[in-house]
Chains A and B, each alone.
Chain A
Amino acid sequence: MVITSDSIYINGLGNISPQKTSDNSSFLKEPVTSVTNRLACIEPNYRDFISPDILRRMGRLIKMGVASSRICLEDSGCSMPDAIITGTGLGCLEDTEKFLGTLVRNKEELLTPTSFIQSTHNTVSAQIALLLKCHNYNFTYVHRGWSFESALTDAMVQIKNGRASTVLAGGMDELTNGSFAITSRLGHWRRKPADTACLFSNPAKGSIAGEGSAFFLVSSAPGPSTYAVLSGLQTFSPKSLNNSLPAILEGFLGEAGMLPGDIDLAVCGMNGDNSSDSMYKELTASLGTSDIAAWKHLSGEYQTSSAFGLWMASMIMKSGYVPEQAVIRGTGERPVKTILIYNHYLGLNHSFILIRKP
């Protein structure tokens, strides 16, 4: 299923990530690099966004989600969105682990409700609505590497069907010690800490774990700080479509009235894992002379990291600047009018997002 549009705009951004991204006036000016196999968010002072009495009870992902949504709304100038839609692979994992852990240790006795309540997957979107007193449409998607894309799909459909003019859409996931331990055993991460500054020049088995929360104000009309036109989206599995990546891309771009050669910059989700980065090579090889950029050495890998990818692409579109440390191929001199964001999660959940200059 391909969604296309000429009149859906990204009018605001808010991003909390392992980079210094919570201030929209600065775009990856001082990239944070380290030698590690897991990245944690650089969290802002939450008191700037949330009152202390509410803050005290909130789980970490809720804080990140609420704060990044606030940054986004302020950036866009929209104070009351017509819809709030989030995507999260695993939701408030820290609270889920806390409740499950206490349940096991205490043998089902002396449990308290707070972590159970917050473990519900729609807690972030609900808390945003509660703090805004927003009675509008409120949805949460929880589908692995398509969680954020599903939220964005719904945002586009709400606008296309005339149900909403402004949609606050975001993707968020948190990394915990427990989930890192499990995914390490599953072989998702580098065994030895890797230098994030040269992750792609040292391919090996596994990637770097990450986390983050990024929001977008998606609107039916441009605003004072419009970043891009959100012109296409597709979630797909090459295996179920029984088709090659370049052919699926051609079909996707065809629906948007474009050809692979029209892509000025491909922002790709390569993560340094030599067992699955070949898919990105297969796709970019079909793009000819497009420049290529990457983001996961900055954010780490997680279910909703494509939200970081779309954030980076939106910043590039507005500023006309491709941060040096994000460049994989090209001079960065080609004027950027069309960006394709291509991501896959564990080789299973693939997505294309297309943005254009307004």
Chain B
Amino acid sequence: MGHRVVITGYGIVSSIGLNAGDVLDSLIGGHSGIGGITRFETIHKGKLPLAEVKLSNKELVDHCGLRSVRNYTRTSLLGIAAAMQAAAMAGYAAGQELRTGLISATTVGGMDRSEDFYPPFLENTSKGRLREVVNHDCGDSTEKIAGFLGIRDFTTTISTACSSSANSLMLGAELIKAGMLDRVIAGGTDAVTRFTLNGFNTLMILDKEGCRPFDGNRAGLTIGEGAAFLVLETEENALKHGKPIYGILSGYGNANDAYHQTASSPEGTGAALAMKKALDMGTLLPADISYINVHGTGTQNNDLSEGVAVQNVFGEKVPPFSSTKSFTGHTLGAAGAIEAVISLLSIQQDAVFPNLRWSTPMKELYIKPVTELIHDASLKHVMSNSFGFGGNNSSLVLSKYIP
């Protein structure tokens, strides 16, 4: 305990770019990844937007240098594409002495292929190609990433809905602090599927126009896909091996809203608890936070609940905040890690990325998001929130590295 957990590498794949450089360009240029549905056939085509990664599975296979698309779900391909960037940036190689773990997160796993398996199987249980369903479970994508990277010491998968990959980072840091591992590659991956698109559609929380987080006229979220991984290790290790350090994971907290299976409490109890836990762990005061990358899905319920919680935790001095889901869409199990990487980019660039498609204040709140890019923000500590079904609320604090 007491060791600082630092970040020595990160990788990201999303609708706004296939690597951190491209993602940064989109964030600075104000280019959203939200667009039409092209990945699969659905009755929602032309009616609902998605934030898709622009490569097909075949193109992702080539991008990752894999041999065949046959054994891979889209979730695992996105995961490999992001994890390999993070590993390369941190100078990871299989067989190194450092005890290295992989913690991934996903909500849909291999559902994209199970959807192809299911129609003939429903007609007759002896039908449907088994190779479309053997990769259904959430552990499959993690095993594929672990196999690709040659991870031996520890591998697991977290699924706590939309906070899943924020929780991967928490477990990674805890394992390092307990002295169990020297280095952890932690993050998450999720592909868009008909299952999730229709699931969220039944809840009537998909905005036909593309999500408008924290807008008074917001009408729901936009589903996105992507993956992100961060390499965590102790500061001592990073310095000993002369590795560049891109930030510190200085605080984190998970709390449960215990209010409703899907809806957030009006007062944002769990959200506020998670933010306070993260501040306490980093021995930080609310005033120390220079920017909040909010969960900000764009649903009526989340943004109100989160907004009230932010006001309660930060009082009258709420730092600048924005939801970058207005760029990436809501990438579900990958969102926590994707937004942790975006928070790191913010810290490095001293930039606050804007909350797109915002025009009208919410009448219930006295705060409003940042809507224009801020270039000279001087960011020391950035908070990143991720909240999920089951009242699963997580908050991370990423900090500028100061030796």
Write the residues of chain A forming the contact surface with B, with a CB cutoff of 8 angstroms: 1, 3, 84, 89-91, 99-101, 103-105, 107-109, 111-113, 116-123, 125-127, 129-130, 132-144, 146-147, 150, 153-154, 157-158, 160-163, 178, 181-182, 185-186, 235, 237, 240-241
Contacts and interface: CB of A to CB of B under 8 A. Distances in A.
Given A3-B178, A157-B175, 15 more contacts: A1-B99, A99-B199, A101-B122, A104-B118, A108-B194, A111-B201, A117-B199, A122-B390, A126-B392, A130-B390, A142-B157, A146-B155, A160-B178, A178-B121, A182-B133
7 nearest CB pairs, A to B: A126-B390, A116-B199, A121-B159, A142-B138, A144-B139, A113-B202, A181-B125
A138 B161 CA distance: 12
Given A100-B195, A108-B42, A139-B167, A122 B392 contact: yes
Contacts of A1: 99, 101, 153-154, 175, 180-181
Contacts of B189: none
A91 B254 contact: no
Given A104-B118, A111-B198, A140 B44 contact: no
> Residue among A130, A133, A142, A181 with the most chain B CB within 10 A?
A142
A129 B391 contact: yes
B130 interface: yes
B107 interface: yes
Give the interface residue-count category, chain B. Answer: 35 or more
A113 B261 CA distance: 12
B159 A122 contact: yes
B122 A105 contact: yes
A143 B155 contact: yes
Contacts of A113: 199, 202-203
Given A103-B198, A112-B202, A141-B157, A161 B389 contact: no
B139 to A, nearest CB: 4
B156 A146 contact: yes
Given A127-B261, A186-B134, A143 B107 contact: no
A130 B391 contact: yes
Given A89-B137, A103-B195, A122-B388, A129 B256 contact: yes
B255 interface: yes
Given A135-B255, A140-B160, A161-B177, A90 B137 contact: yes
Contact of B107 (A121, A138, A153, A161): A121
Contacts of A240: 146, 150-152
A235 B390 CA distance: 28
Given A89-B137, A90-B137, A141-B158, A101 B118 contact: yes
Contacts of A130: 258-261, 390-391
Interface string B185-205: 000000000110011011100
A122 B160 contact: yes
A235 B154 contact: yes
A135 B270 contact: yes
A138 B194 contact: no
B125 A178 contact: yes
A38 B239 CA distance: 55
B114 interface: yes
Contacts of B134: 186
Interface string B165-188: 001000100110110110000000
A139 B160 contact: yes
A157 B181 CA distance: 12
A156 B161 CA distance: 23
A318 B287 CA distance: 52
A120 B167 contact: no
Contacts of A3: 178, 180
A235 B121 CA distance: 34
B402 interface: no
Interface in B108-128: 109, 111, 114-115, 118-119, 121-122, 125-126
A119 B135 CA distance: 17
Nearest to B202: A113
